[in-house]
Amino acid sequence: MTAENPVRIERDSMGPMEVPQSAYYGASTRRAQLNFPISELRFPRSFIRALATIKLAAARANMSLGLLEAHVGGAIVAAAGEVADGALDDHFVVDIFQTGSGTSTNTNANEVIANRATEIMGGERTSRMVHPNDHVNMGQSSNDVIPTAIHLSALMKIQDDLVPALRTLQEALEEKQEEFWPIIKTGRTHLQDATPIRLGQEFRGFAGQVAASLRRLEHAQEELSQVALGGTAVGTGINTHPEFSEKVCALLTDLTGAQVRETSNHFQAQNTLDSVVEASGVLRTIAISLHKIANDIRWMGCGPRAGLGELDLPEVQPGSSIMPGKVNPVIAESVIQVAAQVVGNDASIAFAGQGGYFELNTMMPVAAHNLLQSIDLLAASANNLSEQCIKGLQATSVGPAMVEKGLMLGTALSPAIGYDKAAEVAKEAAKMGSTIREMAKAKTSLTDAELDVLLDPAKMTEPGVSTGGGGG
């Protein structure tokens, strides 16, 4: 002990341990802190909030069941509320790369809440007026609390952050769909010119991707809503009241707005991360979808003179330290990098999903960290893409100007003159540097009026077949 770093003595089942005087955590947390000097990564705020909310709801449930004295339970509820609100985040000190069950972080929460609750009751932190195991952890095990906290924190983040962000993006894309609907440009397949398409139709596709992402999230939320709480050590529910989980889940739903219910099969809920793996797969799909949108937009904006130049992207910052006036598609590039991170996180989560051995998965902390990071990144990047890119997009005249020059206009000639003749027209036009219209006049008997009907780009953006009334 030094004047600069005063300590106190705390005890756990392994004996006494020096703990910083100012810390709310106790001996077991300090052991874990020393055991895992691996990284700077800690459980995020959203996970600590979920974990503390579970402890708060558990205390209320145990009081209602007559298992926890009201004065002790009330102090736990107050202390857990402070933790849930973020007042004691500095006291959650255990590395993500710790015991695979997350026991060290569950213990960290139990000790912080117990010591703070003891203070609320007027006691000294070392007195254990409120016991971290007997009181705060009553009816629980790390093995059911940690997976429940993973599910609950993910549900809250999806509900509060990701779903609103995706809805905002969908609305922004739908607004551009309407704005850009009159603009007809050349479509592309295999990065080659294809038949005409409306710029609004391309944005309708983007909006549809986001709508599908929201539908996929609904299924992930349904899977995550089933939680392991009540299974305690191995899924049998030893040392917990039969009504405990049902009561806690109802309280959690009321407290968070996230729909939570007890799993119908505790054994699978604790020895697997299958629901987390599935949810991560949905997040990966969303990331790849956002990558597609961002990548197409930056390609349509490439140039401005030597590229496609069909879109003007908002100019948000200088693009080069050496080339004056250069502006880059940085918002789109940010989204693309987020997609890479989320795909990498998903690979880690898939690996963690294989860490279920007999009655417990032992890779929960890293799965939790990566899942929550993916949700945060996707929500932030979707919002940023909406606000700093999509809403400011402007169409240029380049796309419509290129339509008449497009060789795939020849597709519209096929019903009138046949595929082979249309191909001959297209190839000759490419060779001679002329338009399809010009070459069709030279190579077929189609009149100007018939060509006007056949080569109307607006009609080519809709289903239907036009024979043009002639042949050649």
Which percentage of the chain shows pLDDT scores above 90?
A: 93
pLDDT band at 466 (very low <50, low <70, confident <90, very high): low
Span 136-153, mean pLDDT?
Answer: 98
Q: Hunting for tokens 């693009």 — which residue is that? A: 319
Q: Which DSSP state fits 388?
A: H
What does the alpha-carbon distance between residue 402 and residue 194 come to, in Å, rounded to a whole number? 12
The torsion angles phi and psi of 385, rounded to 5 degrees, stand at -60, -40
Report the candidate in 254, 245, 338, 237 with the shortest Cα–Cα distance to residue 288.
338
Residues 298-333 pLDDT 10s:
999 999 889 999 999 999 989 888 888 888 999 999
Strand locations in 295-453 (E): 311-312, 356-357, 360-361, 394-395
| Tokens linked to 347 | 């690979």
Cα dist. 318→130, 299, 322, 323 in Å? 58, 18, 10, 9
What does the alpha-carbon distance between residue 374 and residue 287 come to, in Å, rounded to a whole number? 9
Residues 89-107 pLDDT 10s:
999 999 999 999 999 999 9
| Tokens linked to 137 | 């952890």
Q: Is the pLDDT of residue 469 over 50?
A: no
Q: Is the pLDDT of residue 64 over 70?
A: yes
What does the alpha-carbon distance between residue 338 and residue 464 come to, in Å, rounded to a whole number? 40
State the pLDDT at residue 471: 38
What does the alpha-carbon distance between residue 349 and residue 273 come to, in Å, rounded to a whole number? 9
Question: pLDDT averaged over the chain?
Answer: 95
The upper half-sphere exposure of residue 96, i.e. CA atoms within 13 Å in the direction of its Cβ, equals 17
State the pLDDT at residue 2: 56
Q: Is the pLDDT of residue 44 over 50?
A: yes
38: number of Cβ within 10 Å: 10
| Tokens linked to 190 | 């295999």
State the pLDDT at residue 468: 45
What does the alpha-carbon distance between residue 170 and residue 175 come to, in Å, rounded to a whole number? 9
Q: Do residues 194 and 121 touch, judged by C-beta distance below 8 A?
A: no
- CATH code assigned to 22-138: 1.10.275.10
Helix or strand holding residue 191 (H, E)? none
User: What positions carry a catalytic annotation?
Assistant: 190, 320
| Tokens linked to 263 | 């799993």
Domain boundaries, the chain: 22-138, 143-398, 404-461
Report the candidate in 24, 121, 29 with the shortest Cα–Cα distance to residue 76.
121
Length of the chain: 472
What does the alpha-carbon distance between residue 189 and residue 191 come to, in Å, rounded to a whole number? 5
Residue 453: exposure state from Cβ atoms within 10 A (0-12, 13-18, ≥19): middle
The torsion angles phi and psi of 467, rounded to 5 degrees, stand at -85, -20
Span 121-133, mean pLDDT?
Answer: 95
Residues 389-445 pLDDT 10s:
999 999 999 999 999 999 999 999 999 999 999 999 999 999 999 999 999 999 999
What does the alpha-carbon distance between residue 307 and residue 319 come to, in Å, rounded to a whole number? 16
Residues 330-361 pLDDT 10s:
999 999 999 999 999 999 999 999 999 999 99
- The structure's pTM equals 0.95
State the pLDDT at residue 324: 85
- CATH code assigned to 404-461: 1.10.40.30
* Residue 133 Cα to chain centre, angstroms: 34
- In order, the DSSP letters of 74-98 are HHHHHHHHHHHTTTTGGG----SSS
Architecture of domain 143-398: Up-down Bundle (1.20)
State the pLDDT at residue 405: 92
| Tokens linked to 106 | 């569950």
Span 171-193, mean pLDDT?
Answer: 97
Q: Is the pLDDT of residue 175 over 70?
A: yes
Residue 106: exposure state from Cβ atoms within 10 A (0-12, 13-18, ≥19): buried
State the pLDDT at residue 325: 87
State the pLDDT at residue 418: 94
The torsion angles phi and psi of 365, rounded to 5 degrees, stand at -60, -45
* Dihedral angle sign, alpha carbons of residues 59, 370, 32, 90: negative
| Alpha helices per DSSP H over 85-198 | 103-120, 142-157, 163-180
pLDDT band at 449 (very low <50, low <70, confident <90, very high): very high
Q: Which residues have a Cβ under 8 Å from the Cβ of 240 and sit 6 or more positions away?
A: 139, 140, 230, 232
What does the alpha-carbon distance between residue 414 and residue 412 come to, in Å, rounded to a whole number? 6
pLDDT band at 464 (very low <50, low <70, confident <90, very high): confident
